Structure 1
C-alpha cells in the first residue's frame, strides 16, 4: 500500500505542477496570441462560413513592407465608413508573431489583425504583398490582386461586393 501512496503522491504533485505552470505561463505570449490570433486555412474557412451574408476584404501583408504600411490607414478609413456592411481584416505573413508585437508596440490595431501561415498564403496564391482578396456574401473570391489600393478604389470594391 505504501508504494501505491507514493505513486499517487507523485502523480498528484506532477498534476499540480502542470496546472501551476499553465496558469503562470508567459503573460506576454498569451496576450500576443489573443491580440494576433493564428489564421490558417481552416480558420479562414470558419471565419468566412460564420460571416455568411456579409462580404469581406482580407489583406495579406508584413510589417517590413512599405506598401503594406501605406495600405493599412486606407483600410482603417474604409472600416470606419463601411464596417457595418463588410468585414475587413488583415493577415500578417511575418515569420514570427513577435514582429506584429513590435510593429504595434503595445497599441491595439484598428483593424482585426491575424498572424497567418505559409499554408494560408499558398491557398490564396500570395506571391507579392500586400495582396487584397475580396469575398462576396457567399464567401466566394471575387477579387484577388497584389498591390496597395487607394481609398477611392477600396470604396468602389466595397460597393461592388456589398451589392450597392
Structure 2
C-alpha cells in the first residue's frame, strides 16, 4: 500500500463538502423557522423607521392594530389619539396596520391627524404572533411580555391600566 492510497479521492472529498454545505443550509432554515416560531418580525414604518420584536423587549408599549377596510376601524384615528393622550407619558403608543399596503393606509389617513407612528404588518406576522383575531385589536407589552392581547375595548383605559401594572 502506498501513501497516496489512504488519501481521500476527489469524489469522496466533493461528497463530504456537499454534505457539509447541505447541513449548513439546513441549519440556516432551522434558524429562520425558530425565529418565526418565536414571533420575530420587523415591520416597516409608514413614514420611516421600523418596529421589531426586539423593540418590545424593554419598556411599555400600547399597540393598536387596525385596517382601513374594517368597518369597525372607521374611528380608529380618534380612538388612538385618545389613547396616546392618556397613556403616551407611560408607554410608547403606536399603531400596526393589518395586511395593507402603504398606499391604502395613506389614502385612509388623508386629511386625518394620527398622532402616533404607524407600522405595516403586510404579511400578518405581528398579528399572528400576538393572537390578534379581531379588528381593531389591542396589544399591551411591558418589558417583552404581552400583558394584553385582544379586541380593542370601547373603554381601553381599564385594559391598559391593568396590563401596565
TM-score bin (small chain):
0.5 to 0.7
Residue segments in structure 1 that go unaligned for 5+ positions in a row: 1-32
Higher RCO (C-alpha 8 Å, min separation 6): 1
Aligned pairs for 1:81-120 within 5 A: 81-105=86-110, 109-118=114-123, 119-120=125-126
* TM score, norm. by length of structure 2: 0.62
> Per the alignment, do residues 95 and 71 of structure 1 end up closer, same or farther by CA in structure 2, a change over 3 Å counting?
closer
* TM-superposed deviation, 1:106: 6.3
TM-score (ref. length: structure 1)? 0.62
Contact 1:133 1:143 in 2 (8 A): yes
Per-residue CA deviation, residues 11-62 of structure 1 (Å, 9 max, x unaligned), is xxxxxxxxxxxxxxxxxxxxxx7644475xxx4312213xx2x321112110
Could you say which structure has the higher strand fraction? 2
Compute the displacement of 1:113 (Å): 0.9
Alignment size in residue pairs: 121
For residues 115 and 101 of structure 1, what CA distance do their matches in structure 2 show? 11
Residue equivalent to 1:160 = 162
Whole-Å Cα distance in 2 between the matches of residues 38 and 63 of structure 1? 21
Runs of 5+ in structure 2 lacking a partner? 1-43
Of 149, 153, 157, 2:153 maps to: 149
Q: In 2, distance between residues paired with 1:149 and 1:37? A: 29
Larger Rg: 2
Distance in 2 (alpha carbons) for counterparts of 1:34 and 1:127 = 22
Answer yes or no: is the 8 Å Cα contact 1:58–1:90 preserved in 2: yes
Greater share of residues in helix: 1
